[in-house]
Amino acid sequence: MMRISMSLPRKLLEEFDEVLRERDYKSRSKGIRDALEDYILRYQWMNEMEGERTGTIAVIFDYHYIGVLENLADIQHDFRGQITAVMRTDIGEKYCQEIIVVKGDVKYIRDLTEQIKRLKGVEHVKLTSTVSKENSP
């Protein structure tokens, strides 16, 4: 095993510790290892996808963060060929959730997802997809 150190926002660590207690973890290190393994598996799964896909990208962002709405709009404009619908809803005083419905070659959908993830003010992004039905046997 290798030892590392990391800095985390207090709220994130408190929430993580609460999840560990609820799941009856005996060690924070074990929880972090499991979370990292899950992150790696999700990344590998996303990179192994090929061909035409249909799916959704769920985005949670701080709508008070300067420029986040404009940046999201610019990215969505660049990928208008893959985006079929967008729905936005408030989820509190500070955050919005946007659901982006996508269809097309997964390499573009992956790129769209990664560009959104890199935006400042974006808190969470999750891609869910399946093979487009017209391409199924």
Question: Sorting pLDDT into bands at 50, 70 and 90, what band is 133?
Answer: low
Residue 95 predicted with pLDDT over 60:
yes
Q: Which two tokens stand for residue 127?
A: 């891609």
**Distance (Å, rounded) from C-alpha 45 to C-alpha 47?**
5
For the segment 54-59, the average pLDDT, to the nearest whole number, is 95
CB 57 within 8 A of CB 125: yes
**Distance (Å, rounded) from C-alpha 14 to C-alpha 10?**
6
CB 100 within 8 A of CB 60: no
Question: Sorting pLDDT into bands at 50, 70 and 90, what band is 103?
Answer: very high
Question: Sorting pLDDT into bands at 50, 70 and 90, what band is 66?
Answer: very high
Residue 137 predicted with pLDDT over 60:
no
CA torsion sign for 77, 79, 85, 90 is: negative
Question: Sorting pLDDT into bands at 50, 70 and 90, what band is 116?
Answer: very high
Question: Sorting pLDDT into bands at 50, 70 and 90, what band is 44?
Answer: confident
Mean pLDDT of the chain: 90
- pTM of this prediction? 0.73
For the segment 41-67, the average pLDDT, to the nearest whole number, is 86
Q: Which two tokens stand for residue 20?
A: 């560990």
**Distance (Å, rounded) from C-alpha 40 to C-alpha 115?**
18
CB 122 within 8 A of CB 116: yes
Lowest mean pLDDT among 4-13, 45-54, 58-67, 105-114: 45-54
Question: Sorting pLDDT into bands at 50, 70 and 90, what band is 134?
Answer: low
